[in-house]
Structure 1
Amino acid sequence: MNLFADIRALVIDSLNALVADGFLPEGLDFANVAVEPPRDAAHGDMATNAAMVLAKPAKMKPRDIAEKLAETLAGDDRVSSADVAGPGFLNLRLAPVIWQSVLGAVLEGGLDYGRSDMGANKRVNVEYVSANPTGPLHVGHTRGAVFGDALASLLAYAGYDVTREYYINDGGAQVDVLARSAYLRYLEAHGRTVEFPDGTYPADYLVPVGEALKEKFGDQYVDQPEEAWLETFRTFSTDKMMTLIREDLALLGIEMDVFYSEKSLYGTGRIEAALKELEDKGLIYRGVLEPPKGKKPDDWEPREQTLFKSTDHGDDVDRAVMKSDGAWTYFAPDIAYHYDKVSRGFDELIDIFGADHGGYVKRMKAAVSALSGGKVPLDIKLCQLVKLFKDGAEFKMSKRAGTFVTLRDVVDAVGPDVTRFMLLTRKNDQGFDFDLDKALEQSKDNPVFYVQYANARICSTLRKAAEEGVKTDMDVLKAADLGLITHAAQLAVAKKLAEWPRQVEIAARTNEPHRIAFFLYDLASDLHGLYHLGKSEKGLRFLNDSGETATHANLALAKSVSIVISAGLAILGVKPAEEMR
């Protein structure tokens, strides 16, 4: 049940009736006709812009359309009133039975209430985290991991066929640095005193890697030249780091469907095949790029390179794919990787990048547009930085990591559920100050506590009801007399529940899972408000003295809220609390 979609369908049917009656001209496009909550709840339950968007193409005054549409809508049993406001907005009030029926739909649908077929089973690839395999995940990766995983779950809930993917950046110079750093720990494991030059990784997390190398190879590579051990140590260390990263992700309950190795693109003809695809479209040429904008670097000189004509697909400048010395640029394997995604038949691609990749957006979108002939859209979401605070001061680096706070540090401090929910209370492109103390605070100002407490409060009430001999099984609650739900505060909760399917579709359409967290907070607020109102109005108490019939109706309302909170938290990857400790 999607009540907003149902009422929009009613509006469209009414408009078609006005066309059939000759009041409106034929051929009008109703695509932009919307039905949504009014900005001010005092104006009604729903509002439609139909008259405003149709006035110009119909060559009519919007108020004239609105008044006629209001007259038509008022004849439907679901609509108790239709009032024209301002130049032509139409505010609707629905009959109480409609809101009561929402509760029945929630109880009947369970966790599937709000699930959508909007995605039509389209195949979507969501690539996220994709950190260099050179160490444990840090707090910046944590935000991208949580955002990407919640987005994948949201899209699956909205009817998409989702693949979660991690791109292992194991083909660049950074893994050579990893191998050299691991070699120093290997020597250290043999009792040697070592120094870590600038640019290597001196943190403690490579100590066990060095010991594992000693156990596997003994002293075979001690004092040997780099060419003797580099490839072996690179592969060994990368595998160890990916094991560490998988363990980090598991702490947050994240499981990838695909781990794709950048290294697999080299020497296999895949990069060449992707560039050949672009060349066949006339998009690869030899040329010289202009110097970078602003101050020209001292070492810059014009060099002929192999370029991708990305400006044909919306980029600001063309991009180099091969250097003048014949080596690939870092952009070339990324083109090949996305060509592989397109070739795998995905209908849509989503990349989750860190804030430092902002300059990469246009070129990557241009590449995918060119490779897919504009048929496969690529959405790139940038996750801004996270600053951690504890005891009023910025949280310092991890001793184990050396230069950054790790994902494990954050999870150890507040737990996986709090970590996930808190990082989803801001839009991804906004910076986030994560106060570890406030994240554990039990107050309305802590959104994760406030939402979890609402669910725990409902679960506690249901347990107490059972202890008092009141039946609380789902069959009984489904059979409750929902016609007893008539108080404005109760109907406000039902109205909020009615918004859930709409919020799911909006969040999925915009790739914005933070909307789910916001909705849950608002729903929890309505529930808490109703609960406190019951202290003065006994008839609103979930367990009250008005008789078992009224109690069952109130418990049905409470259970409906718990169902939607549980469904929303599942999308965010958070376990609903049944009790607070």
Structure 2
Amino acid sequence: LAAQQQGTLVTILSPEVIIERPQNLEHGDFASGLALKLARSMKMSPLAVAHKISEYLSLPPEIDKVSVVSPGFINFTLRDDWLKEQVEVILNAGESYGNLDLGKGSLVQVEFVSANPTGPLHVGHGRGAVLGSTLTNILAAAGYLVEKEYYVNNMGAQIDNFTRSLYARYQQCLGREVTMPSEGYLGNYMIDLAQEIVSEYGNKLLNLPQEEAITKISEIGLEKMMAGIKEDLRLLRVDFERWFSERSLYEEGQYNKAMAILQGGGYVAKRENAIWFESTSLGEDKDNVLVRSDGSPTYFASDIAYHYNKFMERRFHTVINIWGADHQGHIPRMKAAIRALGIDPEQLKIITYQLVTLRRGEEIVKLSKRSGDIISLREVIDEVGVDACRFIFLSRSADSQMDFDIELAKKQSVENPVYYVQYAHARIASILRLAEQRVIDYSQGDVSLLSTEPELTLIRRLILLPESMEDIATTLQPHYLPYYAQDLATAFHSFYKQCRVISQNEALTKARLKLVKASQIVLAKTLHLMGMTAPEKM
């Protein structure tokens, strides 16, 4: 703008100015490709435009220099003395370093996992669980008031199939010849569950009228399945503030209230003996059934009532749903229903995650050797550990398919990214223990002595934490965090190999111990945000 006012550059409508982080640190700390966008309109080469812009830049005090490089990038480099000061900033902030006030206390609900309680959790559920719990950790640290919720689907056709399957298995365990329902749940876990009920109740349920027995075994079976799900999630370090019952939407009136709003807005029609949501009037390709011809509400109807409860009764400003990729087609009609309820659809954010393929090296693993069923989440946790599960589930963007290599996850070597990152923290802890054993007080260390390339590179990585957290809170993509953790671990390992921390040079030792302590604060914070441990020894 200053160059245009001076007449050095042609006055045109300027595009949005984007400042990015170059991948190569040799290109500075920040870069802009603005000149590349302006060159054609200015009728000048991008390099010439970049030089003109750089002449008129008013730089903040943190910037040391500006350079122009081909084909027209403007690069900015931070001052070394400012970088060194950030070590003290991190030490003073401690565990709160990286926290933001981005959310300003805005109320956000994140609903995730929400698997039907008809079987054990599998690795796909685990991926959704870790995505959700990590995202909530970051949003909370970014200044949002976050509530984590699991939506319990405890009614409908799948629950009926589960109940009748369990009742059949229960009777079989007691010696009756009963055929399993055609659409029943045939996994071995159903036999185990039935046997557990027999051991607790004996044949008491057989003495009840059939429908009463079915109702009772449904209650018992669902309670036991939910207890197993909660235990699996506890092992994975995933917790929830609320377990919301689908059935409660009908018992407490939210379903009727939501349907009344749709009816009042003219979005409901009755035809073919069913009740339809006329989503075509809101731009959808087709209308959707709310109530089937037999009078039973669809899952879609329950979801509308559930979101009425979230937005209009509990007053969440933003709702984030984390769904499996098989729900992708459900998103447009859900957004249409939100609009029909009088809510801005932008307040509903939906993240879908792709499938997980389990491998042992090159071999794809489908069935459990123990049970013959699909491999459960619990089995994978037991084999590779919680930290490895969480890191790997986070390591790809949600919309990318994932290969989970069980053998790699167990390796105690730098090939395993989980080991590599945690080993960096263990190394840090060992250095600080040695300093403590030698009674080195580094509280007055002079960080201005940190001048080598490995030291400054490490500081540059440390100060990226707040920026990474803001990116994740804004884009809702927590996979950036394990990438950041690996970059930070690489920078620390490089520093460790090239810079002796505790040496005969007392002043430099104290300065480097401050840098090591700052590294511990940032790396531990990163690991904890991912729900992982920061080991003192490995």
TM-score (norm 2): 0.90
For the 8 Å contact 1:28–1:54, the answer to whether it is kept is no
For the 8 Å contact 1:55–1:61, the answer to whether it is kept is yes
Deviations, residues 426-471 of structure 1 (Å, cap 9, x unaligned): 1111111111111111233211111001111111111122223323
Answering whether residue 499 of structure 2 is matched by residue 521 of structure 1, we say no
Answering whether residue 141 of structure 2 is matched by residue 157 of structure 1, we say yes
For the 8 Å contact 1:34–1:48, the answer to whether it is kept is yes
> Of 327, 334, 342, which aligns to 1:364?
334
Answering whether residue 411 of structure 2 is matched by residue 441 of structure 1, we say yes
Answering whether residue 300 of structure 2 is matched by residue 331 of structure 1, we say yes
How far off is 1:71 after superposition?
3.8
Answering whether residue 496 of structure 2 is matched by residue 531 of structure 1, we say yes
**2 CA distance for matches of 1:214 and 1:87?**
76
Matches within 5 A, 1:132-211: 132-188=116-172, 190-192=174-176, 196-207=180-191, 209-210=193-194
2:93 is matched with 109
For the 8 Å contact 1:204–1:400, the answer to whether it is kept is no
Q: Which amino acid aligns with 1:328?
A: P
How far off is 1:54 after superposition?
8.1
> Of 58, 79, 95, which aligns to 2:79?
95
**1 CA distance for matches of 2:282 and 2:528?**
38
Deviations, residues 402-425 of structure 1 (Å, cap 9, x unaligned): 531111101110111111111111
Answering whether residue 500 of structure 2 is matched by residue 541 of structure 1, we say yes
How far off is 1:27 after superposition?
13
> Of 345, 360, 369, which aligns to 1:390?
360
**2 CA distance for matches of 1:415 and 1:315?**
45
For the 8 Å contact 2:335–2:345, the answer to whether it is kept is no
**1 CA distance for matches of 2:489 and 2:330?**
39
**2 CA distance for matches of 1:447 and 1:121?**
35
**2 CA distance for matches of 1:45 and 1:253?**
36
Deviations, residues 129-165 of structure 1 (Å, cap 9, x unaligned): 1111112211111111111111111211211111111
**2 CA distance for matches of 1:185 and 1:166?**
28
Q: Which moved more, 1:517-526 or 1:47-56?
A: 47-56
For the 8 Å contact 2:108–2:146, the answer to whether it is kept is yes
Q: Which amino acid aligns with 1:523?
A: L
How far off is 1:127 after superposition?
0.8
Matches within 5 A, 1:344-363: 344-363=314-333
How far off is 1:75 after superposition?
6.1
Answering whether residue 374 of structure 2 is matched by residue 404 of structure 1, we say yes
1:6 is matched with none
2:311 is matched with 342
**1 CA distance for matches of 2:143 and 2:11?**
34
Q: 1:306 is paired with a residue of what secondary structure?
A: strand
Across the two proteins, how many residue pairs are aligned to each other? 537
1:5 is matched with none
Q: For structure 1, which runs of at least 5 residues remain unmatched after alignment? A: 1-14, 288-302, 535-539
Percent identity over paired residues: 39
> Of 278, 281, 286, which aligns to 1:317?
286
Deviations, residues 206-230 of structure 1 (Å, cap 9, x unaligned): 4564356446655343165532322
Q: 2:359 is paired with a residue of what secondary structure?
A: strand
Q: For structure 2, which runs of at least 5 residues remain unmatched after alignment? A: none
How far off is 1:205 after superposition?
3.4
For the 8 Å contact 1:71–1:82, the answer to whether it is kept is no
Answering whether residue 241 of structure 2 is matched by residue 257 of structure 1, we say yes
Deviations, residues 332-357 of structure 1 (Å, cap 9, x unaligned): 11111111111111111111111221
Q: 1:320 is paired with a residue of what secondary structure?
A: strand
Cα 1:19/1:166, change in 2 over 3 Å: farther
1:300 is matched with none
Cα 1:276/1:76, change in 2 over 3 Å: closer
**1 CA distance for matches of 2:12 and 2:145?**
35
Cα 1:266/1:398, change in 2 over 3 Å: farther
Q: Which amino acid aligns with 1:568?
A: T
For the 8 Å contact 2:165–2:181, the answer to whether it is kept is no
TM-score (norm 1): 0.84
Answering whether residue 424 of structure 2 is matched by residue 454 of structure 1, we say yes
Cα 1:313/1:530, change in 2 over 3 Å: farther
Answering whether residue 523 of structure 2 is matched by residue 565 of structure 1, we say yes
Cα 1:362/1:375, change in 2 over 3 Å: closer
For the 8 Å contact 1:176–1:230, the answer to whether it is kept is no
Cα 1:417/1:325, change in 2 over 3 Å: same
1:379 is matched with 349
Cα 1:551/1:312, change in 2 over 3 Å: farther
Cα 1:568/1:258, change in 2 over 3 Å: same
For the 8 Å contact 1:323–1:329, the answer to whether it is kept is yes
Q: 2:392 is paired with a residue of what secondary structure?
A: helix
**1 CA distance for matches of 2:10 and 2:400?**
46
Q: 1:405 is paired with a residue of what secondary structure?
A: coil
Cα 1:59/1:334, change in 2 over 3 Å: farther
Cα 1:549/1:367, change in 2 over 3 Å: same
For the 8 Å contact 1:342–1:376, the answer to whether it is kept is no
Cα 1:79/1:140, change in 2 over 3 Å: closer
For the 8 Å contact 1:202–1:402, the answer to whether it is kept is no
How far off is 1:96 after superposition?
0.4
**2 CA distance for matches of 1:71 and 1:447?**
44
**2 CA distance for matches of 1:180 and 1:398?**
25
How far off is 1:97 after superposition?
0.6
Alpha carbon RMSD of aligned pairs, Å? 3.1
For the 8 Å contact 2:278–2:287, the answer to whether it is kept is yes
**1 CA distance for matches of 2:11 and 2:142?**
33
